Amino acid sequence: MSSTTTTHDAHGHDDHGHPTGLMRWVKSTNHKDIGTMYLWFSFTMFLFAGALAMGIRAELFQPGLQFIKPEVFNQLTTLHGLIMIFGAIMPAFVGFANWQVPLMIGAPDMAFPRLNNMSFWLLIPAAILLLASFFVPGGAAAGGWTMYPPLSVQGGMSVDMSIFALHILGVSSIVGSINIITTIFNMRAPGMTLMKMPMFVWTWLITAYLLIAAMPVLAGALTMLITDRHFGTHFFNAAGGGDPVLFQHVFWFFGHPEVYIMILPAFGILSTIIPTFARKPLFGYASMVYATAAIAVLSFVVWAHHMFTTGMPVAGQLFFMYSTMLISVPTGVKVFNWLATMWKGSMTFETPMLFSVAVVFLFTIGGFSGLVCAILPVDIQLQDTYYVVAHFHYVLFSGAAMSIMGGVYYWIPKWTGHMYDETLGKWHFWLTTIAFNVTFFPMHFTGLAGMPRRIPDYSQQFAEFNMISSLGAFALGLSQLLFLYVVIKCIRGGAKATNQVWDGAQGLEWTVASPAPFHTFETPPQVK
């Protein structure tokens, strides 16, 4: 006979199951599992690099040499920078992309799930190489995260380990970027045109493009360093007719887009959280997209503002000064749009929104101090002082790291199916924000007064501000342990999260159950 039957699947959302135990993670091709692994990896690296920062601040607590030898101090600053950038911030955003991009565009997974797995597992040997470099003869690389020659050409075996680690991380980033680009272009749900994509997806699309354009430049620079060190070439060796400043040009041609690689996804997170808690659509969506693209384009024509003191023609100095200042225009558009989104909104201040508002405020301070550094005659005074340290921590800690924290609080109910502890979340926010400002705001003053960076000792006149900075840093470090506790507590239990989680949230990710099922959008949704 012939008939039609309707049944309900008693085995859950999928009837082909998924692996369990350790192998679920090792062999996973599921974007959610891989996203989770990226986020845990990044948090582990964040704590490790943070511990290095605690060592730096302990040494700088008072003038003189207390705990750490000068060469070890330089190793700490170098590895703190390298690990925070390549091990903590970038993988965290890739974790967000893995979790959220397919959910936001209505795709079942990434375009190349096995490559996605490979991208993650490449991080592990790279991290081991970086961490193990502390234990080789001569200690870890100590020439700064920028690896300028001649120090990087003269350094020991740890420099090779760092270069190899960066090469591996570069491969991981490029493979990940290709995956994200093909996913976003090919796997959007029917009806989701480019100009209907969530801002987070847009910012990641542009970030992936920046990675595609910038990463081979870093790979080339590192390979030239290796050949200078071991194969007798003289790309950067002045004694052999090479040019050390060429390395700085090549490095910063990668390095400045890298700054935006670390901040554009943060802008995407802010553009998602602020409309939710203002209960209004994002103000000026199209202008946000164009501003993001403009920032990306401009990021390729400002690199030499990192090297004003190396000597370059006045025309070049003026070009890089003005082009750097020009970036404040699209960035200003973004800040204006976030404020306009909040304007007359029905706002509430849950932990993700607190982080977002703080980021808008603190990142703007970092942007303004960046404008100060862009002014050529001023930068010549401020080059390599603590003012620059204050500037980039206001941009990268309050801009990138605090956005990541806000993003975790925003999406963790969707990831775990539990609400986090709001009271502890707010404690974490206030402790982080206050401690961050106590740590880094005084650095503006010490920098303006001339205190040089990357030096373990300093003049007596900087003692008070350094003591304040160190106390703030210890509080900042400890408050991140509270973050770890809140996250673990949320994973282990808590109030059941609804599918929508936040009443003002918009987007496809809120149409699936909480926690998000192992497989989602196997049938593409229709976007109106």
Partner 1 sequence: MLLSNIDSNCYNVTFKPNCSLTASNKRKVVLLLTIIPCCIAVGFGMLGAWFVLPFVGLEVGALAFAFYYVNSHECDYESISIDGNSLLIERGHGKQVSQQELNPYWVNVQRIELPSGELKLNLISHGKRIEVGRYLTRKQREILADQLQKRTGTFKQY
- Based on the shown chain and the rule CB under 8 A, indicate whether residue 414 belongs to the binding site for partner 1: no
Torsion angles phi and psi, residue 523, rounded to 5: -105, 125
**Which position among 12, 64, 281, 452 is part of the footprint of partner 1 (CB under 8 A)?**
12
Give yes or no for residue 189 binding partner 1 (CB under 8 A).
yes
Q: How far is the CB of 255 from partner 1 (least distance, A)?
A: 14
Q: To the nearest whole angstrom, how small is the minimum distance from the Cβ of residue 72 to partner 1?
A: 32
Question: Is the Cβ–Cβ distance between 309 and 380 less than 8 Å?
Answer: yes
Q: Among 49, 94, 127, 250, which residue interacts with partner 1 (rule: CB under 8 A)?
A: 250
Among 117, 479, 480, 520, binds partner 1 (CB under 8 A): 520
CB 372 within 8 Å of CB 381: no
User: Which residue has 């980021």 as its token pair?
Assistant: 359
Three-state secondary-structure class, residue 524: coil
Region of residue 232 (phi > 0: left; psi between -120 and 50: alpha; otherwise: beta): left
Out of 5, 17, 377, 528, the only residue in the binding site for partner 1 (CB under 8 A) is 5
Q: Is 271 part of the annotated catalytic residue set?
A: yes
- Select which of 99, 145, 303, 410 is catalytic: 145
Active site residue 260: yes
The reply to whether 393 belongs to the active site is no
If residue 51 lies in a helix (H) or strand (E), which one and from where to where?
Answer: helix 31-59
Cα dist from 56 to 168, 468, 475, whole Å: 27, 14, 14
- Residue 460 makes contact with partner 1 by CB under 8 A: no
Regarding 8 and contact with partner 1 (CB under 8 A), the answer is yes
**Contact flag: residue 4 with partner 1 (CB under 8 A):** yes
Identity (one letter) of the amino acid at 65? L
Q: Is 256 a catalytic residue?
A: yes
Nearer to partner 1, 466 or 520 (CB): 520
Member of 104, 127, 161, 187 binding partner 1 (CB under 8 A):
187
Q: How far, in Å, are 207, 288, 300, 326, 401 from residue 323 at the CA level? A: 20, 20, 10, 5, 26
User: Which run of H or E residues covers position 466?
Assistant: helix 463-492
CA atoms within a 13 Å half-sphere pointing along the CA-CB vector of 183: 31
Nearer to partner 1, 174 or 360 (CB): 174
Scanning residues 140 to 179, which ones bind partner 1 (CB under 8 A)?
A: 174-175, 178-179
Does 310 participate in binding partner 1 (rule CB under 8 A)?
Answer: no
Which residue in 182, 383, 437, 498 binds partner 1 (CB under 8 A)? 182
Residues 261 to 300: which contact partner 1 by CB under 8 A?
A: 300
Q: Which of 204, 260, 303, 394 is catalytic?
A: 260
29 binds partner 1 (CB under 8 A): no
**Binding residue for partner 1 (CB under 8 A) from 58, 151, 219, 339?**
219
9 near partner 1, rule: CB under 8 A? yes
Nearer to partner 1, 206 or 270 (CB): 206
Could you please report the per-residue DSSP string of 177-241?
HHHHHHHHHH-PPTT--GGGS-HHHHHHHHHHHHHHHHHHHHHHHHHHHHHHHHS---SS-GGGT
Taking the complex as a whole, the smallest distance from the CB of residue 276 to partner 1 amounts, in Å, to 23
Tell me the β-bridge partners of 165: none
Of 440, 444, 512, 517, residue with least CA distance to 53: 440
Q: What is the 3-state secondary structure (H, E, C) of 108-169?
A: CCCCCHHHHHHHHHHHHHHHHHHHHHHHCCCCCCCCCCCCCCCHHHHCCHHHHHHHHHHHHH
As a whole number of angstroms, the distance between CA 38 and CA 87 comes to 10
Q: CB-wise, 9 or 313, nearer to partner 1?
A: 9
CA angle 266, 267, 268 (to 5 degrees): 85
For partner 1, the closer CB: 177 or 416:
177
Catalytic residue (one of 160, 228, 258, 509): 258
CB 134 within 8 A of CB 140: yes
Least spacing, CB of residue 112 vs partner 1, in Å: 7
Catalytic, out of 177, 331, 403, 439: 331
**Residue choice 156, 220, 284, 345 for contact with partner 1 (CB under 8 A):** 220
Pick 21 or 241: Cβ nearer partner 1? 241
Out of 65, 71, 185, 349, the residue judged to bind partner 1 by CB under 8 A: 185
Give the interface with partner 1 as residue ranges (CB under 8 A): 1-9, 12-14, 111-112, 174-175, 178-179, 181-182, 185-190, 192, 209, 212-213, 215-217, 219-221, 223-224, 227, 235, 243, 246, 249-250, 253, 300, 512-513, 517, 520, 522-526
- Residues assigned a catalytic role: 80, 109, 145, 172-173, 256, 258, 260, 271, 305-306, 331, 334, 453
